[in-house]
């Protein structure tokens, strides 16, 4: 039966897959494409700002590009790429055959994908959103056309997908761990995924509500943010940042996890201070919810509120500092191999520390009145997001590429990418601190000469092209590797410590022929130290239960996409309402089908597994 199920065209296979490893690849491809689009938008921004009084793009188009750059990079590039890593690695790291909710996992991807598609349709349907990625209501309510509506509905759909993905990982990590995999034996990437998923669970609902309000105000005659009828635009700011600040940790905690794995592997040492790392991760997650208003110091919340949020914000530097020192001590005395992922990890530490230091500077509420809305803030958050998250995603992509695709990326080209990207990154953003301190406001589309900003902006633009070159080298590397890359071993780097390096590269669809027995932190390393080649099995070889593929996640998401298009135009065209309702009917109809059609999955038989394992061992 399973052999029959596997004989399908590649496209149909991916459209219906519920396999976390294939969903990881989907996230990687979609997130990668959006990352490139966001990168092109960034280049347009930097070209426009390269010289004063430039007219490369008009002011209105600049606003659209700037908004789409931020929105795309956070929601459509960083988030899905983080999910790609989680999907590729976490289930295998905990010794599980699958995630808790394979169907929902696939639904999460397709919702994100259709949300992102919807958002980017705006370019072709009358203009993109132009009120910044924060889309403050006082501005976004006044924005003409449908740009903001694309933002609201697109993010609503993709946010739903993220929430579902988060719940899936929470339950997977709680319920699906292999025997012996206690909480305090979980690899740090799994821990950070767990905490980040919890943050998703609590941070995305406020965004959902904020987006509902904005949708009501713009499309259905609501008055949440209209002061003339008693509304209050500050409500949007609060809801957005109650989501928005934890969002930073949702991105950066998995990044910390990725670096923890890489640093430990390539230092050939157990992670220093494992329990304090876990503690710091949880503490950052907890504190992350009490600091949102530091984005709003200049709103006028009053000195008491500002002081409370300032102190809470500074407190986060403590657990983050714990982590920095633990990474340094892991490397201390280790036998370090400077592979491409390790280069990113080593480059990440000073870069991220700089982002952290400027973060504490911004947290000082009184001083923030100077930094606010200047390029200093732009520099700060790019040091955190690029220096932290993007470095981690690039590192993780190189590190786990063999596990995802079965082939090693070229180390030579990988290092070229790293140096181009690393140098380009600092060229672009370091100077922006000073541009900000010299008074250059963020989000301006051009500036006048004679203010001392020319050189800084030119340097910044040159840096952006270095990063673009690095990305192109990475793409070339991917193509070359795909065509004639070296087949990867199970333990692709030779020093693997965690369970994902015990299964063949790429992992078989059932992950583990026999569920492993975990006998300590760094489970594979424990076995290696005892001279064993493989893992200790926790069960005899037997048939393996697998979930059935399904096309319904695609249909459910497509329904919402159609519905969003309809409702967006319901004030302009008479067909709008109809289309909106039809879309919802498609979604609910597909949910109904899912509910009434029993899905018990299928079994891969023992003989097939033995066959597959032999093949895997030979190759």
Partner 1 sequence: MAQHTNSGNPNVDLAYRRKKNAEDMKHQVISFALMIFLTLVAFFAIGYDKFSPWFSVPFILLLAIVQVGFQLYYFMHMSHKGHELPALFLYSGVFVAFLTIWAFMTIVWW
Partner 2 sequence: MHVEEKLTAETFPASPEKATLEGKNKFLGFWFFLGGETVLFASLFATFLALRDRTAGGPSSDELFKMSIVFIATMLLLTSSLTSVYAMYHMKNFDFKKMQLWLGITVLLGAAFLGLEIYEFYEYVHEGLTFSTSAFASAFYTLVGTHGAHVAFGLLWILTLMIRNAKRGLDLYNAPKFYVASLYWHFIDVVWVFIFTVVYLMGMVG
Binding footprint of partner 1 on the chain (CB under 8 A):
170, 174, 198, 201-202, 206, 232, 234-235, 238, 242, 289-290, 293, 301-302, 305
CA nearest 541: which of 600, 614, 619?
614
Answer with the entry of partner 2, partner 1, none that 290 interacts with (C-beta below 5 to 8 A by kind).
partner 1
Query: Quick one: which H or E segment has residue 546?
Result: strand 544-546
Phi, psi of 603 (to 5 degrees): -115, 140
Compute the CA torsion angle 175, 538, 84, 197 (nearest 10 deg).
Answer: 20
Q: Where are the alpha helices (DSSP H) in 485-534?
A: 523-529
Span near partner 2 by CB under 8 A; candidates 44-52, 165-173, 273-281, 314-322: 165-173
Answer with the entry of partner 2, partner 1, none that 302 interacts with (C-beta below 5 to 8 A by kind).
partner 1
Span near partner 2 by CB under 8 A; candidates 3-11, 196-204, 249-257, 472-480: 196-204
Say how far apart CA 200 and CA 247 lie, in whole Å: 7
By three-state DSSP, how is residue 427 classified?
helix
Closer Cβ to partner 2, 453 or 510, answer by number: 510
With binding defined as CB under 8 A, does residue 18 bind partner 2? no
With binding defined as CB under 8 A, does residue 105 bind partner 2? no
Across the chain, which distance is largest between two alpha carbons, in Å? Answer: 77
Q: How far is the CB of 241 from partner 1 (least distance, A)?
A: 10
Answer with the entry of partner 1, partner 2, none that 223 interacts with (C-beta below 5 to 8 A by kind).
partner 2
Answer with the entry of partner 2, partner 1, none that 600 interacts with (C-beta below 5 to 8 A by kind).
partner 2
In the numeric block, which tokens belong to residue 362?
Answer: 């911004």
With binding defined as CB under 8 A, does residue 608 bind partner 2? no
**What is the full DSSP assignment across 172-230?**
HHHH-PPTT--GGGS-HHHHHHHHHHHHHHHHHHHHHHHHHHHHHHHHS---SS-GGGT
Answer with the entry of partner 2, partner 1, none that 596 interacts with (C-beta below 5 to 8 A by kind).
partner 2
Answer with the entry of partner 1, partner 2, none that 329 interacts with (C-beta below 5 to 8 A by kind).
none
Answer with the entry of partner 1, partner 2, none that 212 interacts with (C-beta below 5 to 8 A by kind).
partner 2
Given 132, 145, 179, 205, the residue binding partner 2 (CB under 8 A)? 205
Cβ–Cβ < 8 Å for 94, 178 = yes
Answer with the entry of partner 1, partner 2, none that 592 interacts with (C-beta below 5 to 8 A by kind).
partner 2
Closer Cβ to partner 2, 102 or 485, answer by number: 102
Question: Which residues inside 213-242 make contact with partner 2, applying CB under 8 A?
Answer: 213, 216-217, 220-224, 226, 228-232, 235, 239, 242
Given 91, 206, 244, 566, the residue binding partner 2 (CB under 8 A)? 206
Cβ–Cβ < 8 Å for 164, 107 = yes
Span near partner 2 by CB under 8 A; candidates 80-88, 166-174, 256-264, 611-619: 166-174
Say how far apart CA 49 and CA 52 lie, in whole Å: 7
Answer with the entry of partner 2, partner 1, none that 222 interacts with (C-beta below 5 to 8 A by kind).
partner 2
Say how far apart CA 538 and CA 208 lie, in whole Å: 43
Closer Cβ to partner 2, 1 or 229, answer by number: 229
Question: Binding residues for partner 2, how many (CB under 8 A)?
Answer: 41
Question: Which residues inside 173-192 make contact with partner 2, applying CB under 8 A?
Answer: 174-176
In the numeric block, which tokens belong to residue 588?
Answer: 């609910």
Answer with the entry of partner 2, partner 1, none that 231 interacts with (C-beta below 5 to 8 A by kind).
partner 2
Q: How far is the CB of 245 from partner 1 (least distance, A)?
A: 12
In the numeric block, which tokens belong to residue 467?
Answer: 């990063």
With binding defined as CB under 8 A, does residue 204 bind partner 2? yes
In the numeric block, which tokens belong to residue 4?
Answer: 């029959």
Closer Cβ to partner 2, 504 or 563, answer by number: 563
Terminal Cα distance for the chain, rounded: 25
Closer Cβ to partner 2, 54 or 548, answer by number: 548
Cβ–Cβ < 8 Å for 406, 505 = yes
Question: What secondary structure, in 3-state letters, does 293-336 show?
Answer: HHHHHHHCCCHHHHHHHHHHHHHCHHHHHHHHHHHHHHHCCCCC
Cβ–Cβ < 8 Å for 486, 502 = no
With binding defined as CB under 8 A, does residue 171 bind partner 2? yes
By three-state DSSP, how is residue 517 classified?
coil
Q: How far is the CB of 551 from partner 2 (least distance, A)?
A: 20
Q: How far is the CB of 278 from partner 1 (least distance, A)?
A: 16
CA nearest 343: which of 425, 414, 254?
414
Say how far apart CA 95 and CA 538 lie, in whole Å: 10
Query: Quick one: which H or E segment has residue 407?
Result: strand 407-408
Say how far apart CA 619 and CA 607 lie, in whole Å: 19
Residue 506 preceded by cis peptide, ω within 30: yes
Closer Cβ to partner 2, 216 or 555, answer by number: 216
On the 0-12 / 13-18 / 19+ scale of CB atoms within 10 A, 125 is middle
Span near partner 2 by CB under 8 A; candidates 54-62, 163-171, 481-489, 602-610: 163-171
Closer Cβ to partner 1, 245 or 407, answer by number: 245
**Residues in the chain, overall count:** 619
Q: Give me the residues that bind partner 2 (CB under 8 A), please.
A: 100-101, 163, 167-168, 170-171, 174-176, 201-202, 204-206, 208-210, 212-213, 216-217, 220-224, 226, 228-232, 235, 239, 242, 592, 595-596, 598, 600
């Amino acid at each position: 039966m399973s052999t029959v199920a596997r004989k399908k065209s590649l496209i149909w296979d991916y459209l219906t897959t519920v396999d976390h490893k294939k969903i990881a690849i989907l996230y990687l491809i979609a997130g990668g494409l959006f990352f490139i689009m966001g990168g092109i938008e960034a280049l347009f921004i930097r070209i426009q700002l390269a010289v004063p009084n430039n007219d490369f793009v008009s002011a209105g188009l600049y606003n659209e590009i700037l908004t789409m750059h931020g929105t795309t990079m956070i929601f459509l590039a960083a988030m899905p790429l983080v999910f790609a890593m989680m999907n590729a690695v976490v289930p295998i790291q905990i010794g599980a055959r699958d995630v808790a909710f394979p169907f929902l996992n696939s639904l999460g991807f397709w919702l994100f994908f259709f949300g992102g598609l919807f958002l980017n349709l705006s370019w072709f349907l009358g203009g993109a959103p132009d009120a910044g990625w924060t889309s403050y209501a006082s501005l976004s309510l006044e924005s003409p056309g449908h740009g903001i509506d694309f933002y609201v509905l697109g993010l609503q759909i993709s946010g739903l997908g993220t929430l579902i993905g988060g719940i899936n990982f929470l339950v997977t990590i709680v319920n699906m761990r292999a025997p012996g995999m206690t909480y305090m034996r979980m690899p740090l990437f799994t821990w950070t995924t767990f905490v980040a998923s919890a943050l998703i669970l609590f941070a995305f609902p406020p965004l959902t509500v904020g987006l509902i309000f904005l949708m009501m105000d713009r499309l259905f005659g609501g008055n949440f943010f209209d002061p003339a009828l008693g509304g209050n635009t500050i409500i949007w700011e609060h809801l957005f940042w109650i989501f928005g600040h934890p969002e930073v940790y949702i991105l950066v905690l998995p990044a910390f996890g990725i670096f923890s794995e890489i640093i430990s592997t390539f230092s050939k040492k157990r992670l220093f201070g494992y329990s304090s790392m876990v503690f710091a991760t949880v503490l950052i997650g907890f504190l992350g919810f009490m600091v949102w208003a530091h984005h709003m110091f200049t709103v006028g919340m009053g000195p008491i509120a500002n002081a409370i949020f300032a102190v809470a914000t500074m407190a986060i530097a403590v657990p983050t500092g714990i982590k920095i020192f633990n990474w340094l001590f892991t490397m201390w005395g280790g036998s370090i191999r400077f592979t491409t992922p390790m280069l990113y990890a080593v480059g990440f530490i000073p870069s991220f520390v700089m982002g952290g230091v400027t973060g504490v500077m911004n947290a000082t509420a009184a001083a923030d009145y100077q930094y606010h809305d200047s390029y200093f803030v732009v520099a700060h958050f790019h040091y955190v997001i690029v220096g932290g998250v993007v470095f981690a995603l690039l590192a993780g992509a190189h590190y786990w590429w063999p596990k995802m695709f079965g082939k090693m990326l070229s180390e030579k080209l990988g290092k070229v990418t790293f140096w181009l990207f690393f140098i380009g990154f600092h060229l672009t953003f370091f100077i922006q601190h000073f541009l900000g301190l010299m008074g250059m406001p963020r989000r301006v589309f051009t500036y006048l000469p004679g203010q001392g900003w020319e050189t800084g902006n030119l340097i910044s633009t040159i840096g952006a092209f270095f990063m673009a070159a690095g990305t192109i080298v990475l793409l070339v590397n991917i193509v070359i590797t795909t065509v004639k890359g070296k087949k990867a071993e199970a333990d692709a780097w030779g020093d693997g410590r965690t369970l994902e390096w015990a299964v063949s590269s790429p992992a078989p669809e059932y992950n583990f022929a026999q569920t492993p027995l975990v006998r300590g932190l760094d489970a594979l390393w424990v076995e290696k130290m005892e001279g064993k080649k493989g893992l200790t099995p926790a069960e005899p070889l037997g048939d393996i239960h697998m979930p059935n593929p399904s096309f319904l996640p695609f249909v459910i998401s497509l329904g919402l996409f159609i519905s969003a298009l309809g409702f967006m135009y319901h004030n302009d065209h008479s067909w709008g309402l109809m289309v909106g309702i039809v879309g919802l009917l498609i979604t609910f109809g597909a949910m109904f089908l899912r509910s009434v059609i029993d899905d018990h999955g299928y079994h891969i038989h023992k003989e097939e597994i033995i066959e597959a394992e032999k093949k895997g061992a030979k190759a």
